[in-house]
Amino acid sequence: MKKVLVMVLALSLVLSLFAGCNKDDAEVTDKEVTTTEKEDAQVHAFIFKNTGNPYGEKQMEGFREAIEKEGHTAILKAPENPTVEDQIVIINELIGQGVDSISITGNDFDALQPALEAAMDAGIKVLSADSAVNPASRMTHINQADPELIGRVEVQAAVEMIGGSGQIAVLSATSQASNQNLWIEWMKTELEEGDYADVELVEVVYGDDLRDKSVAETEALLQKYPDLKCIIAPTTVGIAAAGKVITDKGLIGEVMVTGLGLPSEMAEYIENGACPWMYLWNPLDVGYLSGYTAMALVDGTITGALGDTFSAGKLGDFEVIADGEATQVMLGAPYKFEPSNIEEWKTVY
């Protein structure tokens, strides 16, 4: 009899746990999904790489703004860890819900193909934004900025900072990050094509987008190349780590840092001179443009084919352009952040 009582107790514990969860769920659902009363309301989903990334939060915010402005419903999801496995789980959940479109910032170029094909088979429009997936897995891609422009402009910035001669190094994210690798290729091209006989790219190192690893790699660079003049870090984690190391070691003015960084993270180092200036696009706009592209695909305004045009709210009109064999929509040129404008941007994202 006692045992029965214990079990009942235990069971009610479990139940109360679920009841607790239910309450949470309901709240979250209210917060995350805002349903509208429109007749032909569409449901558009955005999947980012992982949670807890302010850059991704801003992209999702821009996406939501665009979707809700047109009276549709936005679902914003991101796995806890930046893995393909978890993104596949989320894609499947969205197929189960029967959403109209999925915009995804991929954790891998190829590995999402079967899952995204399954989504397209289920009649869902699929596009990638920011970090691309391969052409077979998507209808089009939202490119945040021209990779050629990013690569070239960063080398030009570095050369200007060091006064035209000296050693430079690159601190990247992981060695298989497709974005970063493409930019680094263009950096090398710019170095070959331009008139930079006195500039030497000594090494490309990888901080894996981890704080501690990026710091250790920066310190190792400084040890290995005492004459190093400039570090280009085309990744938000790496550039902040490099800025921190240069500041802590009192090397401001001797070793320059530039690359791609979040204004909020880099404000400190732009103001103290460790990083004279850097570049980035506006993630809010990336999300916003993805939202309008997704709606245009669902409305049938575009099919993702070359030469399609559509209007993206406050951003104006866009055209689908070529990306090798596939197609993409280009947001624009990267934006330059410098001491004169960092104050107004650091609170934005």
Partner 1 sequence: MEKPKVLTHKEFSSVRYFLQWEWILLIIFILVNIMNASFSDNYLKFDGLMRASMIFLDKGFIVFPMALVIIMGDIDISVSSTVALSSVVMATVYNAGVPMGLAILICLGVGALCGLINGILVVKFKELAAVIITLSTMTLYRGIAYIILKNQSAGGFPKWFSELSWGFAWKIPYILIVFVFFAAIFTLVLHKTNFGRYVFAIGNNDIATRFSGINVDHIKIIVFTLVGVMASICAIFLSAKMMSTRPNVASGYELDVIAMVVLGGISTAGGKGKMIGVITAVFLLGFLQYGLGLINVQSQIIIIITGLLLILAVAIPNIQEMIKNFNKKREVNL
Partner 2 sequence: MDKVKEKVSISEMFSKFRELGMVLFIIALIIFIQFRNSNFLTLENIDDLITNAAILSILAIGMMMVIITRGIDLSIGATLALSGMSTALMVSANQNMHPVLALLMGTVVGMIAGGIIGLLIAKLNILPIIATLGMMNVYRGFTFIIGDGGWVSAYQMPDSFVGIATSSFLKVNTLVWIAIILYIIAYYFLNHTRLGRQVYAVGSNPGSARISGVNNDFIIFMVYSIMGALAGLCGVLWVSKFASAQGDTATGYELSVIAACVLGGVSMAGGVGKVSGIIIGVLLLGILQNALPLINVSVFWQLAIQGAIILFAVLSNVLIKRNSDKKNLARRVL
Which residues of this protein are in contact with partner 2, per CB under 8 A? 50-54, 57, 80-81, 175, 205-206, 211-212, 215-217, 219-220, 223-224, 226, 240-241, 244, 248, 262, 264-265, 267-269, 271, 346
**Token pair for 319:** 């055209």
Binding mask 163-202 toward partner 1 (x if CB under 8 A, else -) reads -----------xxx--------------------------
Which single residue is written with the structure tokens 């496995």? Answer: 85
C-beta of residue 140 within 8 angstroms of C-beta of residue 304: yes
C-beta of residue 204 within 8 angstroms of C-beta of residue 184: yes
Give bridge partners of residue 328 from the DSSP assignment: 141, 321
Chain residues 98-117 in contact with partner 1, contact rule CB under 8 A: 98, 108-115
Out of 96, 123, 226, 324, point to the residue binding partner 1 (CB under 8 A).
Answer: 96
**Residue 172 DSSP symbol:** E
Per DSSP bridges, beta strands 317-319 and 101-104 are unpaired
**Residue 14 in the binding site for partner 1 (CB under 8 A):** yes
**Residue 150 in the binding site for partner 1 (CB under 8 A):** no
C-beta of residue 231 within 8 angstroms of C-beta of residue 201: no
Residue 185 touches which member of partner 1, partner 2, none, C-beta under 5-8 Å by kind: none
C-beta of residue 259 within 8 angstroms of C-beta of residue 278: yes
- Separation of CA 94 from chain center: 21
CA angle 223, 226, 232 (to 5 degrees): 85
Nearer to partner 2, 210 or 321 (CB): 210
Question: DSSP states of 177-234 as a string?
Answer: -HHHHHHHHHHHHHHHHSS-TTEEEEEEEE-TT-HHHHHHHHHHHHHH-TTEEEEEE-
Out of 12, 28, 41, 193, point to the residue binding partner 1 (CB under 8 A).
Answer: 28
Nearer to partner 1, 51 or 311 (CB): 51
Out of 24, 39, 195, 317, point to the residue binding partner 1 (CB under 8 A).
Answer: 24
Residue 269 touches which member of partner 2, partner 1, none, C-beta under 5-8 Å by kind: partner 2
If we measure between CA atoms, which residue out of 286, 279, 282, 314 comes closest to residue 132? Answer: 286
**Token pair for 298:** 């669902």
State in angstroms the smallest separation of the CB of 113 from partner 1.
Answer: 6
Residue 248 touches which member of partner 1, partner 2, none, C-beta under 5-8 Å by kind: partner 2
If one counts every other C-beta atom within 10 angstroms of the C-beta of residue 3, the result is 7
State in angstroms the smallest separation of the CB of 129 from partner 2.
Answer: 18
State in angstroms the smallest separation of the CB of 31 from partner 1.
Answer: 9
Cα(31)–Cα(327) distance, rounded to whole angstroms?
34
State in angstroms the smallest separation of the CB of 252 from partner 2.
Answer: 13
Binding mask 282-321 toward partner 1 (x if CB under 8 A, else -) reads ----------------------------------------
Cα(77)–Cα(123) distance, rounded to whole angstroms?
20
State in angstroms the smallest separation of the CB of 150 from partner 2.
Answer: 23
Residue 115 touches which member of partner 1, partner 2, none, C-beta under 5-8 Å by kind: partner 1
If we measure between CA atoms, which residue out of 187, 120, 203 comes closest to residue 149? Answer: 187
**Residue 252 in the binding site for partner 1 (CB under 8 A):** no
CA angle 286, 73, 331 (to 5 degrees): 15
State in angstroms the smallest separation of the CB of 335 from partner 1.
Answer: 30
**Token pair for 247:** 């500041």
Half-sphere exposure of residue 271: CA atoms within 13 angstroms, side-chain side: 11
| Binding residues for partner 1 (CB under 8 A) | 2-4, 6-7, 10-11, 13-15, 17-18, 21-22, 24-25, 28-29, 32-33, 51, 75, 77-81, 83-86, 88-90, 92-93, 95-98, 108-115, 118, 174-176
